[in-house]
Amino acid sequence: MRFLAASWHFHALMSDGSRLLTVKGPQLQHYSIRCTKEILAERPQVSIRMNGHDNSTQTVLKVGGSLIEVATDLINYLVAAHVDALVVPGGGPFAQTVRHYAARTDETTAHWMAILATNQYGFYLASSGAELVEDLRAVERGIRILLPFRVLYERDPLPHSWNATADSIAGWVAHQLNADLVIATDVDGIFSANEVISTIAASDLTSETCVDALLPELLEKYELNCTIVNGRQFQRVVDAISGHSTIGTTIIGRK
């Protein structure tokens, strides 16, 4: 089948790895095509690099639950800015509900309940119109919202502890994709003497900060850097994704 001057729109990632494409043909006709993994393999893939930014650099963006009041506005802003990022949702009030009942169950049960909470936040973020994905192979342009539960339940890569929150999930996802990591939270970065630190080694994070307790260890293990920015300042998030200088803290895990 051939389409002249057709435009393609990715609609959904199917559970078997195929993708459903909507195609607008010459006479405004619309077709739905189910593309198998074999067909998709013939399409050019997005190049992913860890060192430096260019137009093909992939970024994993963790959107903290503390941003829930502005989160959908942030997603809309990122879409309008035409930046590319795979968004890992935080847990927010959904995870807080799990924490409330965690003492009545075991750590493993609480762990999976909390990760399911990130899926709930993911659906909330996607109410802005952004695309939802469950498969880490779904590396596409634009803003996509990851529902983390399925891939984490299948691979179980993190300890079942409150030390591992969505920050660590985002770090693990960035490692899997060989991507840059940006964490958008409700503070400007990591502070020392009431001033934002521009850079700090992961090994120097020995006290409680705005990231979870496990993340510094993962950054060192994966040799991954992480940039923390205030997600209420939307342009800072865009700048961090784009590799531009902005207010925030970069945690250095890369040797």
The helix (run of H) or strand (run of E) holding residue 177 is helix 166-177
Q: Is the pTM here over 0.95, yes or no?
A: no
Of 3.30.420.40, 3.40.50.720, 3.40.1160.10, 1.20.1530.20, which CATH number belongs to 45-252?
A: 3.40.1160.10
> Whole-angstrom Cα distance, residue 136 to residue 148?
9
Contacts of 97 (CB under 8 A, 6+ apart): 117
For residue 42, what pLDDT is reported? 35
Given the structure tokens 């190049």, which residue do they identify? 47
User: Where are the chain's structural domains?
Assistant: 1-43, 45-252
pLDDT of the chain along its 255 residues, tens only?
Answer: 333 333 333 344 444 444 444 333 333 333 333 344 333 333 222 222 233 444 444 899 999 999 999 999 999 999 999 999 999 999 999 999 998 998 899 999 999 999 999 999 999 999 988 999 999 876 678 999 999 999 999 999 999 999 999 999 999 999 999 999 999 999 999 998 889 999 999 999 977 789 999 999 999 999 999 999 999 999 999 999 999 999 999 999 987
Residue 113 token pair: 């309940």
What local confidence, expressed as pLDDT, does residue 138 receive? 67
Cβ atoms of 113 and 152 closer than 8 Å:
no
Angle at 209 between CA 205 and CA 213, to 5 degrees: 70
pLDDT of residue 193: 86
> What is the structure's pLDDT at 208?
75
